[in-house]
Amino acid sequence: MAGLMIHLLMAEKLDINRSISYYIGNIAPDAVSDWKSKDITHFRNEEDRNKSLSDLAIKTSPSDDFAEGVLLHLYTDWRWDLLARDEFIKKTGEDWLYNYRHELALSSSYAYHNTSWAKDIWNKMSLCDISLYNKVSGATADEIHDLIVRNKHWHANNITNFSDAFPPEFIENFINTVSDEYVNWKIQHEITYYNSSPCVFEDFIDIPLMSDSELRLECIAKKPAIPEKKWVPGYVFKICRNDNRVGELNVRIGYRDSLYYGGQIGYGIDEQYRGHHYAERACRLLVPLLKAHGMERVLITNNHTNKASQRTCERLGAKLIRVAPVPQWHDLYEEGNRLENIFEWKIE
């Protein structure tokens, strides 16, 4: 296992505006105090630890900050055990455990006192209402809160030199390497998670009137699936304000690997009509159609530099899941996109 500050350093490295629940989840698995129980909850007793983590990952909602924090903790400990702990045991021998714990304490204390945000994050975690905690295997909410309070005071009151076994440059290299690893690993499991989302498509449906006091959606095309290209069926709408076209909206019904990056909804507002939140309002008009096809959540993606589209997602209440590197096989890569914001919009 890694020290708690190492876990928090990893969480901060990967933070995509996550809530404090993400950070609490990221240290919560260490509230399990019994070492044998902790071996079970951390999958150390599993023959294939990677598979156990993968099984958990494809069940973990990317929009659940606490659960995402827990998963990151377990992944980090797996990689730390392989890259740091096991090497320490080889060098130290049978009496490794006491020395190992001592070096972890030094590395965690040093990181706390040499990280500008550490005090603030521990304060926020200690002040968070425990009713906001989610479940973690092997520990109660009270035990998690006790872990936070004890370690907040311990870190504040213990000022040490850095660990010789795990010096700052070792930890920085570990975090940089494993964080990149984790992103690629997690994206593959997020794709599997979303591809398993419910969807009902027997045929295109008669489009109900989709309008508000000013905007309406006019269906101008129904595009059948093309299985050989792995394209799902979709609708194309003209966004109209009164009798004037102001933009276009595309909806893809279903989930595929490519749609993790391309999304189920795409929109464009004609330049002269921008600035009136028409894209957001048009997306909201889609809710009855999406529900009719049994879709409980959709992905909306945009280029990392497209601030206007990002603000549309934020006004919708969509959650930024990840900034994902676009793979070379995707059409977006050929168009020059290298990073895509992946937003999840829950349909309610």
- Shared domain for 129 and 254, answered yes or no, is no
- Radius of gyration of the chain from its Cα atoms, rounded to whole angstroms: 24
Indicate whether 276 belongs to any domain.
yes
Indicate whether 190 belongs to any domain.
yes
- Shared domain for 9 and 128, answered yes or no, is yes
Give the whole-angstrom CA distance, residue 55 versus residue 244: 50
- Shared domain for 222 and 191, answered yes or no, is no
Indicate whether 30 belongs to any domain.
yes
- Shared domain for 151 and 244, answered yes or no, is no
Count the domains in the chain: 2
In which residue are the tokens 């309070």 written? 149
**136 DSSP β-pair partners:** 139
Nearest to 67 by CA among 57, 77, 55: 57
61-84 average pLDDT score: 97
What confidence score (pLDDT) does residue 93 get?
Answer: 85
CATH number of the structural domain spanning residue 268? 3.40.630.30
What confidence score (pLDDT) does residue 154 get?
Answer: 97
pLDDT tens for residues 264-306?
Answer: 999 999 999 999 999 999 999 999 999 999 999 999 999 999 9
- Shared domain for 72 and 13, answered yes or no, is yes
Nearest to 63 by CA among 294, 317, 320: 320
Indicate whether 98 belongs to any domain.
yes
Give the whole-angstrom CA distance, residue 124 versus residue 122: 5
- Shared domain for 18 and 142, answered yes or no, is yes
What confidence score (pLDDT) does residue 213 get?
Answer: 85
Q: Cα–Cα distances in Å, from 177 out to 10, 107, 334?
A: 10, 18, 27
pLDDT confidence bin for 1, thresholds 50/70/90: confident
What confidence score (pLDDT) does residue 262 get?
Answer: 97
Cβ atoms 251, 264 nearer than 8 A: yes
Q: Cα–Cα distances in Å, from 131 out to 65, 123, 127, 145?
A: 15, 17, 12, 11
333-346 average pLDDT score: 97
- Shared domain for 101 and 187, answered yes or no, is yes
Indicate whether 209 belongs to any domain.
no
33-56 average pLDDT score: 93
- Shared domain for 100 and 57, answered yes or no, is yes
What confidence score (pLDDT) does residue 55 get?
Answer: 97
- Mean model confidence pLDDT for the chain: 95
- Shared domain for 151 and 260, answered yes or no, is no
Q: Please name the amino acid found at residue 130.
A: I
User: 43: alpha, beta or left, given left = phi > 0 and alpha = psi -120 to 50?
Assistant: left
Domain of 103, in residue numbers: 4-195
Indicate whether 130 belongs to any domain.
yes
Indicate whether 153 belongs to any domain.
yes
- Shared domain for 71 and 181, answered yes or no, is yes
28-56 average pLDDT score: 94
Structure token digits, residue 101: 């714990």
pTM for the model: 0.95
pLDDT tens for residues 206-250?
Answer: 887 899 989 999 999 999 999 998 999 999 999 999 889 999 999
- Shared domain for 146 and 280, answered yes or no, is no
Give the whole-angstrom CA distance, residue 169 versus residue 176: 11
- Shared domain for 243 and 154, answered yes or no, is no
Indicate whether 207 belongs to any domain.
no
57-86 average pLDDT score: 97
Domain boundary among 165, 195, 225: 195
The percentage of residues in the chain with a pLDDT greater than 70, rounded to a whole number, is 100
pLDDT confidence bin for 135, thresholds 50/70/90: confident
